[in-house]
Amino acid sequence: MKAIAIARAAACGPILLSALAWPAAHSPAALASSTPVSIDGTFELTERVMSNGTVLRPPSIVALYTLAGGRFNLNIFVAKDDGSIASESTVGRYSFTADKYCEWITYTIRKDLDKPGVTNEAPPVTDHCTPVRSKNGRLEFSPPGEGVDVSYGRGGFTAKVGNEFVDHWRKIR
């Protein structure tokens, strides 16, 4: 009888330990750490804050940016002071990990953004990859060749272009 009680206790011990450990192993914190880092989503530009404090909002500036499964698409339209529209439409591929972002532009057309006129020349890059930093719960990096510093958080991201402006993007999907 004593041998049966010892055997039962020996068999129940691992089951009890498993039952006690399961909630810790499957807690949101444990699951989050095993979830791959992602910037996938569809983002809408909500405002552009110029260095002089001027804030541009739709319809003066309108943009959507989608990143999904290694592909991206950016469309942006900006009303200029003279009433004309500057614009960009770009499609490409990207890869993203917790420590590296890589980007390859497949096609772009830009009108009156970097320089006057229309061009389908992508910005020149020497390296298609750039380091990703994690700071204060945000993921920060500078996409190759773009001259922009981005900072992704839970609800969207900001994109800072030198001392010119900061764009604020809200995740909509």
**Three-state SS for 125?**
coil
The 8 Å CB, 24+ separation contacts for 5-9 are none
Taking the C-alpha atoms of residue 7 and residue 3, their distance in angstroms, rounded to an integer, is: 6
| pLDDT score recorded for residue 35 | 59
Neighbours of 85 (CB within 10 A): 11
Taking the C-alpha atoms of residue 4 and residue 18, their distance in angstroms, rounded to an integer, is: 22
DSSP count for the chain of H helices, then E strands: 2, 13
Beta-carbon contacts of residue 9 (< 8 Å; ≥ 6 apart): none
For 45-102, write each residue's pLDDT tens digit. Answer: 999 999 999 999 999 999 999 999 999 999 999 999 899 999 999 999 999 999 999 9
The fraction of the chain above a pLDDT of 70, given in percent, is 79
**Mean of the per-residue pLDDT values of the chain:** 84
| pLDDT score recorded for residue 114 | 80
- Domain boundaries in the chain? 2-34, 41-171
Question: What pTM was computed for the model?
Answer: 0.78
Interval 14-25 mean pLDDT: 38
**Three-state SS for 142?**
coil
DSSP 84: -
Beta-carbon contacts of residue 125 (< 8 Å; ≥ 6 apart): 144, 145
Helix segments in the chain, DSSP class H: 2-25, 28-34
Using the predicted structure, report yes or no on whether residue 22 has a pLDDT greater than 90: no
Q: 98: exposed, middle or buried (C-beta count within 10 Å: 0-12, 13-18, 19+)?
A: exposed
Interval 27-54 mean pLDDT: 79
